Amino acid sequence: MFINTNFLKSDEINLKLTKTTVGNIRKDWLPAYHFDICNKQGEEVGGCDLRIGYNKNVYYGGNIGYHIDENYRGHHYAGKACLLLFQLAKRHKMDYLIITCNPDNHASRKTCEYAGGKFERIVEIPDDNDMRRNGETEKCIYQFNLRNY
């Protein structure tokens, strides 16, 4: 199921695979790739992951997650990582991806816009979702049509 990811690099960043997870049907978790995001100097600047497939949980949690360490913010590293992950998703024959963020996370919303996402709406997280049980209540939903990349 998992494929070689050595192609996930650009002139500015490289995604270094740290692990894969096979998912858990009972918990409705999808298989995923996990990466360190490294700049052109080879420094780890953050991390990202790609969940392969679609289900109810990924609609609220997203196919892609990312974080950038505070000292490296402002360089669009998360958006550039998303663009590379789109290529991996396409190799898995995915047609679209969902990225979500909290409505008050302006940096993440800018990342979604930088990567070309279409804002769908703000949704309330269902009561039976783990994120809701952890105190989160809403998510912004962005969709990315992979035919455009």
Q: Model confidence over 44-67: pLDDT tens digits?
A: 999 999 999 999 889 999 999 999
Tokens of 136: 């989160």
Residue 137 belongs to some domain of the structure: yes
So what's the pLDDT on residue 28? 81
pLDDT confidence of residue 38: 98
Residue 25 pLDDT grade (very low, low, confident, very high; cuts 50, 70, 90):
confident
Q: Does the pLDDT of residue 71 top 90, yes or no?
A: yes
Residue 54 lies in a domain: yes
Please name the amino acid found at residue 37: I
By CB atoms closer than 10 A (0-12, 13-18, 19+), residue 1 is exposed
Contact 66, 111 (CB under 8 A): yes
Is 2 a member of any domain?
no
Q: Is residue 83 part of a domain?
A: yes
The band of 23, judged by pLDDT with boundaries at 50, 70 and 90, is confident
pLDDT on residue 130: 87
Residue 89 CB coordination number (10 Å): 23
Residue 50: C-alpha distances to residues 65, 93, 105 (Å): 7, 14, 20
- Whether 7 is covered by a domain: the verdict is no
Asked if the structure places residue 4 within a domain, the reply is: no
> Domain containing 109 — which CATH number?
3.40.630.30
In-domain check, residue 117? yes
| Residue 72: closest CA among 84, 80, 63, 61 | 80
Arithmetic mean of pLDDT, 8-17: 98
Between 3-7, 26-30, 67-71, the lowest mean confidence (pLDDT) is in: 26-30
Residue 34 covered by a domain: yes
User: What is d(CA 120, CA 128) in angstroms, rounded to the nearest whole number?
Assistant: 22
Residue found under tokens 């009561």:
127
Whether 27 has a pLDDT exceeding 90, the answer reads no
Question: Model confidence over 86-123: pLDDT tens digits?
Answer: 999 999 999 999 999 999 999 999 999 999 999 999 99
Question: CA separation (Å) from 64 to 14, 41, 42, 89?
Answer: 16, 24, 22, 10
Q: Please tell me the number of Cα atoms within 13 Å of 1 on its side-chain side.
A: 11
What is the domain count for the chain? 1
Chain segment 114-140, per-residue pLDDT in tens: 999 999 999 999 998 889 999 999 999
| Structural domain that includes position 108 | 13-148
